[in-house]
Structure 1
């Protein structure tokens, strides 16, 4: 919030109050928009990390299967003495397990991005602010004597007040 335009204790006109309220409401709306953008950026980053993990899982399956599978299968065949077909099957299962773990990581990040709900939070906050502003009532002020409203000196107010009451 900004400091009042005039010195403390001085009354500001309705126009000044309205201008101040309009300026502050405009600043509030701009801040709400900036918040929505920041939350959206965060959700996009999370989605990008999830997408990257899914891409890494695909890359593991595509590029490492031939080389890794051959190396692993021949290693199992030599070390365990299993038939060659069983060694290749175990090598494939190991690659699928790695790809499954990477896909699981991708799903966790994708769920976090979906749960973030950045724009929805900002819209809810803006609606809450609007509801509070609609319920706001002006501060009750004591009625000023007619002499001060009419700009008359202090002692002349009695007659002016009577005239003001009778004419209204």
Structure 2
């Protein structure tokens, strides 16, 4: 027959178990925070390296574009004087820049209209919610 008033030596009491639970929970939270910090540092480092490499790629692409422009001038210089070839290529580039600027301007002008539509829709939603709230009371 077992005596209910005594505890076996290998079992912890409820206060001891609660103390262990609190200690282990605190340790788990601290470890999770440290892990999150390390993961964030790793992600930030990789993002920085990626951004640097992306910038390098853009710079190299720009240099490649300049080489293509130079090749176009050199190709035209085979049939025209060098200065005329350079003027023709420059004119083509300026026309392309003008077209890009006009398309960009049109996009920017359309942006406020879209933003105003969003604001109007949100304002209408807020108004509907307020009316529904007042209808319930």
How high is the TM-score relative to the length of structure 2? 0.42
Structure with the bigger RCO (C-alpha within 8 Å, sep 6+) is 1
How high is the TM-score relative to the length of structure 1? 0.35
